Each structure stands twice: as structure tokens, then as C-alpha cells.
């Protein structure tokens, strides 16, 4: 029998970005809130101090800050006809673990989605006709519009102190910003970061080719900033140990720097770390959550009852917990029924490395930050006419010099041997004069009928529960999209003056061993129809109205941007609905 803790008003599963946002909103409402986090407490002075955090082997190669697969992993296969096998060590994405969640070790690239992204199926069908979309593509509208989300985008940007240049202020297009963005109500809270040499070269080349380059919106702050909660962030020092690492400088927007020190002082807030929720408990009717059961690191089982349950355990773990708790109808791709596990997506990324004459170019690649960048958005979403190209979707592209950590960044031109004296010489000759954009092309990943999540029939976790199974492949549409974008990107890198290019298209099959961002999405999507969505437009479970599910889990498909600004904005949007509507009259906020 699990030991019982005193009942709370609200239990929050997972204390990362969305868990911390929701905890702050609901404690402001006077509710008694507990957040339960699977991983350890993490903060700059104890866990990533500048005395030893600059350790590429430990944090980048050996994944120090991430979940260990022996604690929990997934199985994977490309097609339904294959046997899924366990992901024994991480590759394609990096599951967060610990207080702060992915917000601890993210890059902090902070993009808004395009207005058309939220009404994707309607928009594309109107412009190109329904037959333009592949038959098995299951993209749909979100049930929310950009205009509804705008105030919440704004709130999250001001919480973080985001550094950037507005491109569309209340409908007025501004020079130097992203002219394609939706209208914003205010400029960014802080100006763009300083740009290293390779970025200014990229900007110049892009401009000469007729594009409108702009600095990437960044949560690595260009200057000191005090956020609306009174928390202070320092200026980023371009240390180059950003993504995959925690920031020692309090310069990266994260739950630790923007929310937790404020939240923890509230009398009606408690957190528990090293405690993994294994189930959301339901009452007899199966339509009301009574709380959660969790296991701490000593193996002890606990029950936490609550009136309201917030599931904010990161995209994949949200779906896993829904499946393990029997909430919502599991998706069946053959019968095309059910919703939990449906419309799982990732990101279609690729890059082009440019090798320059080292007598003329020195890029100091180690000077960088996770979300610094010079980008263009001409080929994102539906910003260009897809008619002649035979695919839908797109992405932004840019030079993003995140750091020159040498295990990862000692690149050699194509054709160089992989070892020996010639390799060594090439490493030496090229390290300072190579442009390595990392995720240079950041493309959309749309949803398909046979790309989904369900429970594995064979492999189990340490509690004997089935692992969640990922069935995912890259489809013709995304491969074409990537080829088109990567070629455009290569033209810019070439125009910068590169002598040699290494063009790395994204090709099938989808590969679970190579990193393709940690932007995994969907599986319990939001929408207007309970037959094709697990959550209503307020992220409330259709089946269990006192359960709200936060995170990219709700994305019906993935646009060509990083998810988190939208994930955070949706958390504020859901919080507003809980505060303004749900608490007054707990129950379904939308009729099914």
C-alpha cells in the first residue's frame, strides 16, 4: 500500500518549464500546489558551476544532465511491419530529467509560430486544394488562433527577457526583424545579442541574395534584465557551453532563473524531487482524477491526492503516463480510431558546413551561445508558394554558432581521410575557419496516419510496465521539403565565401541514433473534435476534465520552429482558462 500524503488542491507532474509556469499561476490564485519531479533538484551553484561545467565529455557526450535509459526508455521502429527495439542509449532526442526540465539545458531559441500554422489544414486546403496534401497526412487545425495566443507569447517572452528584434509590431513591418512573423503587441524585452563574425557574414550573403536576415530570438540574454517577478538575469558571456549544459551565469532563461526562486517562497507551494509519478489515479467512474501515485528513489511508493491534476512531464512522458493510466482512447492506426498516441512528430533538420580559406577567415567558433543566430524565414510554413514544388511545410535557416567544443566541432572537408596524418593536418587547418551551423535548416515535420505512439508488446521498464513504442519514419513530403531548403541554405553558405561545402540532407529512414533536436511533439493533441484530439482547446482532457496536459504533446503537427515559446504560451493560456473559467465551475470547458 502506498503511503498517503495530505491532499492538495493541485498536483503537478513534472517540474520543468510548463510545470513551473502553471505552479506560479495557480499559487497566485491561492491554491495549495505540489509539484512532483522525477529527477534531482538542479541549480547553477551546485550542479553547473563555472568551475567544472565546461566539460564536453561529461555533459555532451555522456549525457550527464539527462534521463538514464535504465530508468525509462522507449522502443522504436520505422514501420508497423517491423519489431520495435529498445532505445538503449539516447540519440535522436534527449529526454530531460530534473528540476527545470528541458529548460535547464536547452539552447533557448525562442520562436513564435506563424498565424497560418494554427489553422494549417484549412489554410493549405484553401490555397492549394485538398488533393495537394498526401492522402495519409493527418495534419489538422489547433482549435486556437495566433491572435488568441499572442498575449501569452508576450507574457512568456517578458518572463524570459528574450533578446530579439521585432519584425511586425502591431501590423507594422520593422526593418531588421522577421517580416514574416505574426503581429506582436510589444517589442522584445531586450535587444538582440551581439553577433560573431560568421553571423554577420551570413547576414550579408543572405541580404545579397535578396533575403531579409534577422537575429534569432534568444533566451541567452544580451543584457542584464529584471523580469516581472523581480528575478534578475545577467548578460550572456558567449561561453559556448549552452545547449546540453546548464548556464553558470544566470544568463539563460530557464525555470531556475525566471520562476523558481520566486515560486519557492510562496507558502502554498511545495516541490518534491527524485520522485517519479507512475500513474494518474481515477475514481470508479473513470472520468475524474483523484491524484497520482509516485515512487521515490528509495523505492517507496506514495499517493498524492488532489482536486486538479496537471500533467507537465514533457511531450513523450505525458503520452506514456496517459497510456499507463488508461486515460483517453489509445490510437489504433489500422482502424483509425482513438486519440492517445496519434499525430506524433519530430523536426526535419539538416545542415551545410562551410570550409573557408584559413588565411582569410577566423571565426573563433568557441565564441557562441545556444540561441544566438542570424536567420531567414523566407522558406518557413507557407511563406512561399508551394504550388510548383509538390510538398508542404518549410523551416527557418541560419548560422547559429553555439560553441566550438572540439570533440564535436573538429570538422574536416569532404574527401579528407577519417584518421592519420592528413586528418590531423586538416583538423588543424580548418578548426578556426569552418562555419558549422548546427541545426542550420530547421524544418517542419507533419503528421501521418502510421507515425504514432503505443505500448510495446515485449519490452518493459524497471516496474515491469510496457515501454512506450515509437513508430516513425520520414515521409516523401518531408524529404522533398528538406532537399529544397538545404539547397537554398547551401547557396547562402557558398555566397559567404566558403571554398568547400559539406551538404548533409536529411534522408530516410528516420534514424534513432542521430540527434535531430529534442522537439518531439504530439501524441495527445489539442483540437475541436474528441474523435481526433485528446485535449480540447484549453489543453483539458476530453475524458477527465480535472486533468490538463501541458507541453508539445498538444501540437497536432510540428511547424518549422522550435516549440518552447509556444509550449509556454499554451501553458499560460491553459492557466488563464483554469483561473478564469474552470475554478468557478469545475467541469468541461468545451462541450464534446
Partner 1 sequence: MKSSNPTWFVIRRREFLAGTAMFLFGATRVRAATIAGQLPWTPNAGAPPSRAKLGPWEFFTGEEGRAMEALADCIIPPDAETPGGKDAGCAVFVDRQLAGPYGRREGLYVRPPFQAGTKSQGPQSEKGPAQHYREALAALDRGCKAKYGERPFADLPVADKDEVLRELEKGDFKLDGIDGQSFFEQVVKDVQMGFFADPIYGGNRDMVAWKMIGYPGARYNYLDWVSRHNERFPLPPVGITGSAQWTR
Ligand X SMILES: Cc1cc2nc3c(=O)[nH]c(=O)nc-3n(C[C@H](O)[C@H](O)[C@H](O)COP(=O)(O)OP(=O)(O)OC[C@H]3O[C@@H](n4cnc5c(N)ncnc54)[C@H](O)[C@@H]3O)c2cc1C
Which residues are known to be catalytic? 519
* Cross-strand bridge partners of residue 168: 173
Cell of 327: 486515460
Q: Does 18 bind ligand X (CB under 6 A)?
A: yes
Q: Does 108 bind ligand X (CB under 6 A)?
A: yes
Tell me how far apart the alpha carbons of residues 195 and 217 are, in angstroms, rounded to a whole number: 12
Would you give the binding string for ligand X spanning residues 31-70, x where CB under 6 A is met? -----xxxx-------------------------------
Tell me how far apart the alpha carbons of residues 494 and 487 are, in angstroms, rounded to a whole number: 11
Q: Work out the burial of residue 125: count CB atoms within 10 Å of its CB; fewer than 13 is exposed, 13-18 middle, 19 or more buried.
A: middle
Which residues from 351-370 bind partner 1, rule CB under 8 A? 361-362, 364, 366-367
How would you classify the pairing of strands 374-376 and 395-399? antiparallel
- CB neighbour list of residue 118: distance below 8 Å, 6 or more residues apart: 141, 142, 144, 145, 146, 149
Among 5, 14, 74, 578, binds ligand X (CB under 6 A): 14
Q: Which is nearer to ligand X, 125 or 305 (CB)?
A: 305
Count of residues binding ligand X (CB under 6 A)? 42
Tell me how far apart the alpha carbons of residues 493 and 490 are, in angstroms, rounded to a whole number: 5
Tell me how far apart the alpha carbons of residues 458 and 454 are, in angstroms, rounded to a whole number: 12
Would you give the binding string for partner 1 spanning residues 6-45, x where CB under 8 A is met? x-xx--------------------xxx------xxx-x-x
Which residues from 223-242 bind ligand SF4, rule CB under 6 A? 236-239, 241-242
Tell me how far apart the alpha carbons of residues 357 and 340 are, in angstroms, rounded to a whole number: 52
Question: Do the beta carbons of residue 383 and residue 415 sit within 8 Å?
Answer: no
* Cross-strand bridge partners of residue 85: 76
Which helix (H) or strand (E) segment is 255 a member of?
Answer: helix 255-258
Among 90, 146, 156, 244, binds ligand X (CB under 6 A): 244
User: CB under 6 A: which stretch of 13-21, 175-183, 498-506, 584-592 binds ligand X?
Assistant: 13-21
Q: Which is nearer to ligand X, 152 or 475 (CB)?
A: 152
Which residues from 532-561 bind partner 1, rule CB under 8 A? none
CB of 49 to ligand SF4, least distance (A): 12
Q: Does 303 bind partner 1 (CB under 8 A)?
A: no
Q: Does 369 bind ligand SF4 (CB under 6 A)?
A: yes
202-208 long-range CB contacts below 8 Å, 24 or more apart? 202/374, 202/398, 202/399, 202/435, 202/492, 202/493, 202/496, 203/374, 204/496, 205/492, 205/493, 205/495, 205/496, 205/497, 206/374, 206/376, 206/492, 206/495, 208/495
The neighbour count for residue 444, using CB atoms within 10 Å, is 26
Q: Does 163 bind partner 1 (CB under 8 A)?
A: no
User: CB under 6 A: which stretch of 166-174, 245-253, 391-399, 512-520 binds ligand SF4?
Assistant: 245-253
Selection from ligand X, partner 1, ligand SF4, none that 8 binds (CB < 5 to 8 A by kind) is partner 1
Q: Which is nearer to partner 1, 458 or 531 (CB)?
A: 458
Selection from partner 1, ligand X, ligand SF4, none that 252 binds (CB < 5 to 8 A by kind) is ligand SF4
Cell of 64: 550527464
Would you give the binding string for ligand X spanning residues 246-285, x where CB under 6 A is met? ------------------------------xx--------
Which residues from 167-226 bind ligand SF4, rule CB under 6 A? 220
Tell me how far apart the alpha carbons of residues 37 and 97 are, in angstroms, rounded to a whole number: 8
CB of 141 to partner 1, least distance (A): 32
Tell me how far apart the alpha carbons of residues 314 and 447 are, in angstroms, rounded to a whole number: 19
Q: Does 415 bind partner 1 (CB under 8 A)?
A: no
Q: Which is nearer to partner 1, 127 or 204 (CB)?
A: 204
Among 5, 10, 11, 16, binds ligand X (CB under 6 A): 16
Selection from partner 1, ligand SF4, ligand X, none that 251 binds (CB < 5 to 8 A by kind) is ligand SF4
29, 229, 252, 409 from 220: Cα distances, Å: 30, 18, 5, 21
Among 169, 173, 174, 194, binds partner 1 (CB under 8 A): 194
Q: Does 395 bind ligand X (CB under 6 A)?
A: no
Which residues from 247-286 bind ligand SF4, rule CB under 6 A? 247, 249, 251-252
Helix runs in 100-237, H state only = 102-105, 120-128, 146-160, 197-208
Q: Which is nearer to ligand SF4, 12 or 372 (CB)?
A: 372
Q: Does 160 bind ligand SF4 (CB under 6 A)?
A: no
Q: Does 279 bind partner 1 (CB under 8 A)?
A: no
Among 322, 563, 575, 578, binds ligand X (CB under 6 A): 563
**Residue 26, φ and ψ in degrees, nearest 5:** -80, -30
DSSP state of 193: P
75, 450, 459 from 79: Cα distances, Å: 12, 8, 17
User: CB under 6 A: which stretch of 93-101, 176-184, 403-411, 492-500 binds ligand X?
Assistant: 93-101
Which residues of this protein are in contact with ligand SF4, per CB under 6 A? 220, 236-239, 241-242, 245, 247, 249, 251-252, 369-370
Amino acid at each position: 500500500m502506498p503511503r498517503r500524503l495530505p491532499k492538495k488542491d493541485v498536483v503537478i507532474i513534472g517540474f520543468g518549464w510548463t510545470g513551473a509556469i502553471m505552479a506560479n499561476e495557480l499559487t497566485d490564485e491561492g491554491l495549495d500546489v505540489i509539484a512532483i519531479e522525477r529527477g534531482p533538484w538542479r541549480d547553477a551553484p551546485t550542479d553547473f558551476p563555472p568551475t567544472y561545467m565546461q566539460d564536453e565529455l561529461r555533459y555532451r557526450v555522456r549525457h550527464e544532465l539527462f534521463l538514464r535509459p535504465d530508468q525509462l526508455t522507449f522502443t522504436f521502429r520505422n514501420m508497423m511491419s517491423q519489431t520495435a527495439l529498445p532505445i538503449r542509449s539516447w540519440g535522436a532526442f534527449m529526454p530531460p530529467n530534473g528540476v527545470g526540465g528541458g529548460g535547464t539545458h536547452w539552447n533557448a531559441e525562442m520562436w513564435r509560430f506563424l498565424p497560418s500554422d494554427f489553422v494549417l489544414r484549412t489554410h493549405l486546403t484553401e490555397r492549394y486544394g485538398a488533393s495537394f496534401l498526401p492522402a495519409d497526412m493527418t495534419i489538422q487545425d489547433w482549435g486556437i488562433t495566433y491572435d488568441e495566443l499572442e498575449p501569452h507569447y508576450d507574457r512568456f517572452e517578458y518572463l524570459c527577457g528574450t533578446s530579439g528584434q521585432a519584425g511586425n509590431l502591431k501590423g507594422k513591418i520593422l526593418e531588421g526583424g522577421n517580416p514574416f512573423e505574426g503581429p506582436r503587441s510589444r517589442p522584445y524585452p531586450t535587444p538582440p545579442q551581439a553577433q560573431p563574425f560568421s553571423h554577420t557574414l551570413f547576414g550579408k550573403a543572405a541580404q545579397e541574395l535578396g533575403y531579409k536576415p534577422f537575429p534569432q530570438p534568444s533566451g541567452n540574454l544580451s543584457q542584464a534584465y529584471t523580469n516581472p517577478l523581480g528575478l534578475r538575469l545577467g548578460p550572456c558571456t558567449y561561453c559556448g557551453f549552452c545547449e546540453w549544459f546548464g548556464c553558470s551565469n544566470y544568463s539563460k532563461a530557464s525555470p531556475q532563473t525566471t520562476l523558481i526562486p520566486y515560486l519557492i517562497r510562496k507558502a502554498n507551494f511545495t516541490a518534491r524531487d527524485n520522485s517519479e509519478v507512475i500513474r494518474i489515479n481515477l475514481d470508479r467512474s473513470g472520468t475524474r482524477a483523484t491524484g497520482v501515485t509516485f515512487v521515490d528513489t528509495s523505492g517507496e511508493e506514495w499517493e498524492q491526492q488532489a482536486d486538479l491534476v496537471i500533467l507537465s512531464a514533457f511531450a513523450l512522458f505525458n503520452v506514456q503516463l496517459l497510456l499507463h493510466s488508461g486515460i483517453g482512447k489509445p490510437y489504433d492506426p489500422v482502424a483509425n480510431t482513438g486519440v492517445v498516441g496519434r499525430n506524433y512528430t519530430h523536426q526535419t533538420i539538416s545542415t551545410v558546413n562551410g570550409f573557408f580559406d584559413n588565411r582569410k577567415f577566423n571565426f573563433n567558433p568557441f565564441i557562441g551561445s545556444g540561441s544566438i543566430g542570424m536567420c531567414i524565414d523566407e522558406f518557413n510554413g507557407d511563406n512561399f508558394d508551394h504550388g510548383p514544388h509538390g510538398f508542404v511545410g518549410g523551416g527557418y535557416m541560419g548560422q547559429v554558432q553555439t560553441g566550438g567544443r572540439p570533440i564535436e566541432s573538429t570538422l574536416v572537408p569532404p574527401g579528407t581521410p577519417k584518421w592519420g596524418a592528413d586528418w590531423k593536418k586538416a583538423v588543424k587547418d580548418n578548426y578556426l575557419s569552418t562555419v558549422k551551423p548546427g541545426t542550420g535548416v530547421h524544418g517542419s515535420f507533419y503528421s501521418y496516419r502510421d507515425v504514432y505512439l503505443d505500448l510495446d508488446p515485449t519490452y518493459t521498464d524497471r516496474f515491469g510496465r510496457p515501454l512506450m513504442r515509437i513508430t516513425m519514419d520520414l515521409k516523401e513530403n518531408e524529404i522533398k521539403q528538406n532537399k529544397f531548403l538545404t539547397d537554398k541554405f547551401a547557396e547562402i553558405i557558398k555566397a559567404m565565401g566558403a571554398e568547400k561545402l559539406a551538404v548533409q540532407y536529411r534522408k530516410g529512414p528516420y534514424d534513432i541514433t542521430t540527434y535531430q533536436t529534442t522537439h518531439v511533439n504530439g501524441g495527445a493533441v489539442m483540437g475541436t473534435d474528441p474523435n481526433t484530439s485528446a485535449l480540447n482547446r484549453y489543453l483539458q482532457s476530453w475524458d477527465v476534465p480535472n486533468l490538463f496536459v501541458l507541453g508539445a504533446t498538444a501540437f497536432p503537427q510540428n511547424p518549422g520552429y522550435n516549440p518552447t515559446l509556444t509550449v509556454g504560451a499554451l501553458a499560460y493560456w491553459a492557466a488563464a482558462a483554469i483561473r478564469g473559467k474552470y475554478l468557478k465551475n469545475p467541469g468541461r470547458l468545451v462541450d464534446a
